[in-house]
């Protein structure tokens, strides 16, 4: 799905990523590991096409890429419901949305403005997006951060269901996760 050749990226002459070579196949879950500042987030941003100024080659056959960053891309001044309705990445099928609300325990919060929510609850809103978007490639930066145990289980099952559909997932995390098929250490 993705082939990376001799990828290097530097920040003001300070090399962050040097000569990376790896390949990601379809239906793979890859756990991207590394110390703080080793360039995990940067790598995900390069793979998703957000950062362009790199050396080397990134070849991708993914038709569409789902990116989840540190900043979730949600609008503070909108309600949970409107945030989700505005998302172009999935069909806002009312029934599916209702199911997702229940699944992620957001059904009591759908009309709450986002700035009233905790970090964990916001994360759950973006997990609904993750849950509903049927994309080829998922690049998830710290998807497990700020979540309770139930949330972590939910996201794991979501990731696995996407894998079963044939999608590839790359995520970063500091803890060991047992859902991944491979680990990649920076």
- Chain residues binding another protein by CB under 8 A are 11-13, 45, 48-53, 64-67, 69-78, 82, 86, 88-89, 139
Which residue's CB is nearer to another protein, number 86 or number 185? 86
Secondary structure E strands in 25-136 = 29-33, 55-60, 65-68
Minimum CB separation of residue 139 from another protein in Å reads 8
Q: Closest separation between CB of residue 152 and another protein, Å?
A: 21
Nearest distance from C-beta of residue 11 to another protein, angstroms? 7
Between 44 and 155, name the residue whose CB sits nearer to another protein. 44
User: 94-103 and 119-132 are packed helices; what angle lies between their axes, rounded to 10 degrees?
Assistant: 140
Nearest distance in Å: CB 68, another protein = 9
Which tokens go with 140? 């998830």
Between the alpha carbon of residue 178 and those of residues 39, 94, 157, 168, 182, the distances in Å are 22, 33, 12, 16, 10
- Say which DSSP state 84 is in: H
Nearer to another protein, 81 or 99 (CB): 81
Quick count: other Cβ atoms within 10 Å of Cβ 120?
12
Nearer to another protein, 52 or 108 (CB): 52
């Amino acid at each position: 799905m993705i082939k990376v050749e001799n990828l290097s990226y530097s920040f003001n002459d300070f090399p962050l990523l040097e000569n990376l070579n790896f390949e990601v196949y379809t239906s793979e879950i890859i756990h991207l590991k590394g110390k703080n500042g080793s360039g995990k987030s940067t790598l995900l941003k390069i793979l998703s096409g957000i950062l362009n100024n790199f050396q080397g080659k990134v070849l991708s056959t993914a038709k569409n890429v789902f990116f989840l960053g540190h900043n979730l891309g949600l609008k503070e001044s909108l309600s949970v419901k409107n945030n989700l309705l505005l998302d172009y990445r999935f069909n806002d099928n009312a029934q599916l949305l209702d199911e997702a609300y229940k699944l992620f325990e957001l059904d009591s919060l759908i009309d709450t403005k986002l700035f009233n929510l905790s970090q964990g609850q916001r994360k759950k809103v973006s997990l609904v997006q993750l849950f509903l978007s049927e994309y080829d490639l998922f690049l998830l930066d710290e998807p497990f951060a700020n979540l309770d145990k139930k949330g972590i289980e939910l996201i794991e099952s979501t990731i696995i269901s996407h894998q079963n559909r044939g999608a590839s997932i790359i995520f970063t995390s500091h803890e060991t996760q047992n859902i991944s098929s491979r680990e990649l250490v920076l």
